[in-house]
Amino acid sequence: MPGKSSGGSGRHQHVKRRKGRKMKAHKETSGEADGNEVFPEAEGETHQLLDVMQVKSTGHVTRPPSDVTENVWSISVQVFIPFLVAGFGMVGAGLVLDTVQHWKVFKVVSEVFILVPALLGLKGNLEMTLASRLSTQANLGYMDSPKEQWSIIIGNLALIQCQATVVGFLASLAAVIMGWVPEGKFDIAHGLLLCASSMVTATLASLVLGLVMVAVIVISRHCNINPDNVATPIAASLGDLITLALLSWIASLLFDKINSQEWVAPLLILIFIGLTPLWAWVASKNKYTKEVLTSGWTPVISAMLISSIGGLILDFTVENFKGIAVFQPVINGVGGNLVAVQASRISTSLHRDSRLGKLPNYAKTVCINPISAFCVKGGHARTARVLLLMVIPGHLIFSYTISYLQAGHTSLTPVFVAVYLFAALLQVILLLYICHVMVHWMWTKRIDPDNSAIPYLTALGDFLGTGLLAIAFQFLYLIGDGDSDVGD
C-alpha cells in the first residue's frame, strides 16, 4: 500500500520536526521511509496500524491509536492488576491512618491531618506526572538509547527532588495558616514540627517512588507493555503507604524532641532548603527537564492548595467520624489512580498524533457532552468505560478487606456499602469527564498535559473524595446508620 506507507512517512516527519530530534527507526525491508517508527513496539503491529488507520496528508490520524493497538481485554488486564495492587497499598495507608489518628502528635498538633492529603497528593503532583512524562517519552522511542535513557532519568529525579522540597515547605505553611485562622493562636514549635515533617517526608518519599517509577517504565518498555497502563497505578501502590508511614513516624519523633532538642526541626529545614539549589541546577542543565523546571510550578502548587482544602475537611470531619480515616486514602487513591491512567493515555495519543496546540482530527472539540465522553464507540470513551467498571468491584474488594482485618470504626451494612459506592462512583465519573476536557483544553493552549494535567486531577480527586466521603458519613449518621463512627 504505497499511499498509506508514504502517509505514515509524512506523519513521522511531522513528529520529527515537532520534537527536533531523530527517533530510533524500525528498519524497512523494501525501501520504505521511516513511517513505521511511530509505534516502536513491533514491526508487525506497525504495519497493521498503517493498514487500518486513515492518515491524512496533514499528518493527523483520524482515530485514536488505541483503537488499533489495544483491545478492551488488554486494557483491562494491564490496568486492573496494577490497580488492584495499588488498592491494597491504599488499604494499607488507610489502616495506618486509622491507627495513627490516635497518636499523641495527631491529637496535640491536629494540623498534621491537613498535611495528609497534600503529601499523599504528591504522588499525583510529582510521581504520576513523572510516570506520564516518562511513559510518553518511552512510547515515542526516546528511552531506547541507554545514553538518552540515563539523561532523562537523572534530570527527572533531580526535578522531583526540587519540587518535593518546595511543595513540602509550602504544604506546611498552608497547614499552619489553616490551623491558625480558626483557632486564632500560633505555636512556633508546632509550626517548625509541621515544616520539618512535611519537607523530610516529601523528599524521601519522592526519591523512593521516583526510582520505582523509573524501574517500572523501563521494564514495561522491554516487556512490550504500555507503560501508560501500569506506571501510574504502581506509583499509587506504595505511594500512600510510604508517605503516610514516613509522615507519622517523623512527626512523632520530632514531637518527642519538641521540648528537649528543639534545634532538630530547624536544622532539618535548613539542610533540605540548602539542597534545593543543587537539585534545581541539575534539572536546569538537562534538556528534558529545564522547561518543566520553569513552567511546571503552577499546577504542582495549585494542586497542593486544592489538596490542603481536602485536608482541612478531613481535619474537621475526623473529629466527629473516626471511621472516615480508614476510607479516606482508599477513595482518594482509587479516584486519582484511575483518572491518572486516562490522562496519561490521552496525553500520549495527542503527542503521537498531533502537534502541541492543534487537536488531531478524531478530537473534534474540547468541551464534549458527558454522553460522548463515556458512550461513543471506541477511543478514549471506551477506556473511560473500562475504568468505570473497575470502581465498584475494586471498592468492594478493598472495603471488605478492611472489614476482614477488623479495622476502622464502621460496620459494612448494606446501606453503608450502597452510599459509599455511590459516592465513589460519582467521584470517578466527575474526574474522568473533567480529565477529558482538561487534557484537550491544555493541548489547545499549548500546555503539555504530561506536566500539568495529573496534578490538578489528582488534587481534585482528593477534594472530591474527601468531600463526598464526609457527606456520605453525615448522611448515614442522619438516617441512623452511623454505627460507631461518631468520635469519642
Give residue-wise pLDDT tens across range 301-336.
888 888 778 878 887 887 777 778 788 888 888 888
Q: Is the pLDDT of residue 46 over 50?
A: no
Q: Residue 419: pLDDT band by 50, 70, 90 thresholds?
A: very high
Taking the C-alpha atoms of residue 436 and residue 366, their distance in angstroms, rounded to an integer, is 8
**What is the reported pLDDT for 30?**
36
The pTM (predicted TM-score) of the whole model is 0.68
Confidence of residue 36 (pLDDT cuts 50, 70, 90): very low
Higher pLDDT, 47 or 308: 308
pLDDT over threshold 80, residue 48: no
Residue 276 pLDDT: 93
According to the model, what pLDDT value does residue 241 have?
81
Provide the 10 A C-beta neighbour count for residue 89. Answer: 24
User: Distance (Å, rounded) from C-alpha 171 to C-alpha 309?
Assistant: 11
Average pLDDT over residues 153-166: 90
- Pairwise pLDDT comparison (268 vs 58), residue with the higher score: 268
pLDDT, greater one: 66 or 412 = 412
Grid coordinates representing 10 are 509524512
Q: Hey, which of 230-239, 258-267, 426-435 has the most confident mean pLDDT?
A: 426-435
- The pLDDT of residue 124: 58
* pLDDT the model gives residue 199: 92
| Higher-confidence position of 154 and 182 | 154
Task: Give the pLDDT band (50/70/90) at residue 421.
Answer: very high
264 alpha-carbon distance from chain centroid: 32
Residues sharing a CB contact under 8 Å with residue 475, sequence separation 6 or more, in sequence order:
419
Place of cell 465498584: 392
CB 325 within 8 A of CB 484: no
Query: How many Å apart are CA 452 and CA 439, to the nearest integer?
Result: 9
CA nearest neighbour of 237 among 38, 84, 50? 84
The arithmetic mean of pLDDT across residues 115-140, rounded, is 75
3-class DSSP assignment, residue 448: coil
Residues 6+ apart with CB under 8 A from 158: 279, 280, 282, 283, 286, 289
Lowest mean pLDDT, pick from 17-26, 284-293, 426-435, 454-463: 17-26
Cell of 247: 509522615
Tell me, what's the pLDDT at 275?
A: 93
Report CA Rg, the chain. Answer: 23
Q: Which of 61-65, 106-110, 287-291, 395-399 has the lowest mean pLDDT?
A: 61-65
Is the Cβ–Cβ distance between 2 and 52 less than 8 Å? Answer: no
